[in-house]
């Protein structure tokens, strides 16, 4: 089992920045591939960024490419999402997810992630 706890959400004006954190505990070997997803009200959950603790390879959704940066501190078992140039359309609940290895169905195949955090709310006002 892997326990994921997100933090860092909040309210910010458009153009501002936030950094989300996802602290992992438990059997972290089962959560070496991690990602950030988000779900806005009335919309489906979407994957926005993923990374592996075993490599430097990262993936981003087009909607956040160039504005968001995923990173990790393996010593602290913590995943981060630095969000810059925030837009009102970035308003959503943000979730951290993990699985043992890269999903076969695509890095944003959320059904293949085994562990999920409780989410942290990000609200961007115009």
Task: Give the chain's end-to-end CA distance (angstroms, integer).
Answer: 40
- In sequence order, the 6+-apart residues with CB closer than 8 A to the CB of 95 are 6, 36, 37, 38, 39, 45, 116, 117, 118, 119
- In sequence order, the 6+-apart residues with CB closer than 8 A to the CB of 72 are 34, 51, 53, 78, 79, 80
Q: What is the pLDDT of residues 65-86, one digit of tens each?
A: 999 999 999 899 999 999 999 9
Class of residue 13 by CB neighbours under 10 A (exposed 0-12, middle 13-18, buried 19+): exposed
Q: Is the pLDDT of residue 56 over 90?
A: no
- Per-residue model confidence (pLDDT) at position 58: 95
CA 83 to chain CA centroid, Å, is 10
Q: What is the pLDDT of residues 81-101, one digit of tens each?
A: 999 999 999 999 999 999 999
Q: Is the pLDDT of residue 38 over 90?
A: yes
Strand partners, 19: 82
């Amino acid at each position: 089992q892997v326990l994921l706890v997100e933090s860092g959400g909040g309210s910010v004006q458009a153009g501002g920045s936030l950094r989300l954190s996802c602290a992992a505990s438990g059997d972290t070997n089962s959560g070496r591939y991690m990602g950030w997803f988000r779900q806005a009200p009335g919309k489906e959950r979407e994957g926005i960024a993923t990374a592996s603790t075993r490599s430097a390879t990262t993936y981003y959704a087009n909607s956040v490419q160039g504005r968001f940066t995923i990173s990790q501190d393996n010593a602290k078992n913590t995943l981060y999402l630095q969000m810059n140039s925030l837009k009102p359309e970035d308003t959503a609940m943000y979730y951290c997810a993990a699985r043992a290895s890269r999903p076969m169905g695509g890095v944003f195949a959320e059904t293949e992630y085994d562990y999920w955090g409780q989410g942290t709310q990000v609200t961007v006002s115009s």
